[in-house]
Amino acid sequence: MTSIVIFGGSGYAGSHIAEAAAVNGHAVTSVSRTEAAAQIAGVTYRTGSILEDDVRERLIAGADVVIVAVSPRGSMAGQVRPAIAALATQAEQAGVRLGVIGGAGSLEQTPGGPLLAESEDFAEQFRPEAREMAGVLDDLRARTGTLDWFFVSPAGDFGPWVAGEYRGEYRIGGDVLLTDEHGVSAIGGADFGVAIVDEIETPTHHRARFTVAY
Beta strands in the chain (DSSP E): 3-7, 27-32, 43-47, 65-68, 97-101, 149-154, 171-173, 208-213
pLDDT digit string, tens, across residues 3-59: 999 999 999 999 999 999 999 999 999 999 998 888 999 999 999 999 999 999 999
Give the model confidence (pLDDT) of 84-121 as tens digits.
999 999 999 999 999 999 999 999 999 998 999 998 88
Mean per-residue pLDDT of the chain: 95
3-state helix, strand and coil shares in percent for the chain, rounded to the nearest 5: 35, 20, 45
Residue 182 has pLDDT above 90, yes or no: yes
Q: Is 190 exposed, middle or buried (0-12, 13-18, 19+ CB in 10 A)?
A: middle
Domain CATH for 202: 3.40.50.720
CA dist 144 to 88, 89, 116, 132, 207, Å? 11, 11, 27, 21, 10
Measured between alpha carbons, how far is 52 from 56 in angstroms, rounded to an integer? 6
Instruction: Provide the domain limits for residue 119.
Output: 3-213
List b or e across 55-75, with b for residues whose CB sees 16 or more CB atoms inside 10 angstroms: bbeebbeebbbbbbbbbbeee
Nearest Cα residue to 209 out of 102, 97, 71: 102
Tell whether the torsion through CA atoms of 37, 127, 157 and 99 is positive or negative: negative
Portion of the chain with pLDDT greater than 70, in percent:
100
Q: How many domains does the chain have?
A: 1
Partners of 31 in beta bridges:
7, 46
What band does 161 get if pLDDT is binned at 50, 70 and 90?
confident
For range 158-167, the mean pLDDT: 87
